[in-house]
Amino acid sequence: LSKELMPPGVLYQNISELPFLFRNMDKEHESYRGRNVSVRYFVKVILERKFLPPLQKEHDVWVQVLGQPPQQNEAIKMEVGIEDCLHIEFEYERRVYHLQDTILGKIHFLLVRIKIKHMELAVIRRETSGDAIQAMGGAAGGPNTVNESQQNVFTETQTLVKYEIMDGAPVKGEVIPVKLSLRGIPADLTPTYTAVNNRFSVRYFLNLVLVDEEDRRYFKQQEIILWRKDLG
């Protein structure tokens, strides 16, 4: 979208103010600055000069889009383990969170026959970009599945924050509470993006890691959906 602000002429003043207004601009997607892909909105001013190269200047405008709360927000419950060695059940209160929300949950140890040294919980962002990103199903605000072609698809995984939520060996029947504030994550959180223009997706995961005394790592990832409730 472009607009001529001034007809050809001569500028005599050192400083000239030219008001402008763009009406009904379609800003469907949020601004985003990722590892392999960016979404930019910017105002570009071009000053054409006779017999000389044009002068131009760009100024970025950051766009945020408010989301809608999910109609359904089921809890996450899953049992994982190693046969006859370790059996745990983890649960998170919800699957969908706004960007200032707090994740609450519990880790139940049902069987412990290996010596656990500590347990960590991390929030991971996975950016997928390429020519063949397509969304399959998924209700608004709910979980989505992304099909990725093996050609021209790039995936970048970034650990945004990691906390140690348990130190020492647990025993059978022990319950470890989980409380993680998304507001406290130093990185710039964005909503979950699914197949934006079939070009890129941004998804978030909770990564639970148990480390035993021999430094072997056992982990389980669970996707969560983020949405924007407030601007800022």
Please say whether the beta carbons of 180 and 106 come within 8 A: no
In tens, the pLDDT along 64-111 reads 999 998 888 999 998 888 778 888 898 999 999 999 999 999 999 998
Question: What local confidence, expressed as pLDDT, does residue 148 receive?
Answer: 46
Model pLDDT, residue 158: 93
3-class SS of residue 184: helix
Supply the Cα-derived Rg of the chain in whole angstroms. Answer: 24
pLDDT of 226 over the 90 cut:
yes
Token readout for 108 is 């139940």
Q: What is the per-residue pLDDT for 170?
A: 86
Mean pLDDT, residues 4-9: 74
What pLDDT is stored for residue 188 in this prediction?
Answer: 84
At residue 47, the pLDDT reads 85
On the question of pLDDT at 134 being above 70, the answer is no
Give me 6's structure tokens. Answer: 């001034």
